[in-house]
Amino acid sequence: MTKQLSIIIINYNGERFLKDCIESIKKTCQGISYEIIIVDNASQDNSIQVLEKEFATDITLIKSKDNLGFAKGNNLGVSKSNGEFILLLNNDTILRHSLQPAIEAFKTNNVGIVGIKMLGKDSEYRHSAGYFPSASRLIKLSRLYKFTNGFKTGDFKDLAPKSVDWVEGSFLMTKKAIWHKVKGLDEDYFMYVEDIDFCKKVTTHNFKVLYLPNIEYLHFGGYGASREHMLKEGFKKYINKHLKTPKKQLAHLSVGFNFMIKDVKKTFTKTS
């Protein structure tokens, strides 16, 4: 039976987050016919046991023998879904408001993707939308010390819906028909920047990306050295794919310099 919404969650060692995430879906999807598809990327913790014991009737569980990464894992999950709409949702999130307005947003203005306001673990505002990376944004000297500001520009803290270039993959809603039209996420990205790349592909088909700051979710995600490396590699792939020479070379130099500045800052701010 076709559902209104298919929620795809990639899990890797997310045992401590899963219960709160799934329970929040139940609360915020009342009145919506939905399914939850969880792709477990070869977790080494007790994720599988928790899911099978506590949520066997609430989810469809796909067990991968390998860590497929974010893009490939989501593509697999979507291939098993039957919803009209697709929601990519991180396992370390808690939804706070009904998702019905997000679904309703697709009825107007040729909307192809919807994102919502992200809050951190202490309910502080965090960027979850922005504008596409370009050579000019990446090389602005005033922003070199803060790499992400080059493409997360603009004020997204008000409550008015805003047309943006991209929204984060930790909460990214789209139509399944659009997903298939652009052939899903690019699996050349293992993790990070595949969400921006996906939004880029969707906008080239004249669909809009809409940010709804009046709907919120909590995201507990961290940011360590390994993730920083994957983010850097993700932007290298994005630049090679979407920017043309000579802007491509300028963007690559800027990305490398920005991450170098971040490393220098870490070195000189460490406590002895």
Q: What is the pLDDT of residues 150-209, one digit of tens each?
A: 445 555 667 789 999 999 999 999 999 999 999 999 888 878 789 998 999 999 999 999
Residue 163 maps to a domain: yes
Residue 189, domain CATH: 3.90.550.10
For 129-158, the pLDDT digits (tens) are: 988 765 555 555 334 434 444 445 555 667
Any domain includes 234: no
Residue 110 domain-assigned (yes or no): yes
Segments forming the whole domain that contains residue 103:
3-137+146-223
Number of domains, the chain = 1
Q: Residues 59-75: what's their mean pLDDT?
A: 96
What residues have CB less than 8 Å from 21, skipping those under 6 apart? 9, 89, 90, 91, 92, 93, 94
- pLDDT at residue 271, rounded to an integer: 41
d(CA 11, CA 13): 6
b/e map of 87-106 (b: 16 or more CB within 10 Å)? bbbbbbbbbbbebbebbebb
Tell me the pLDDT tens digit for each residue of 210-252: 999 999 999 997 544 456 666 767 767 777 766 666 554 454 4
Position 157 in a domain:
yes
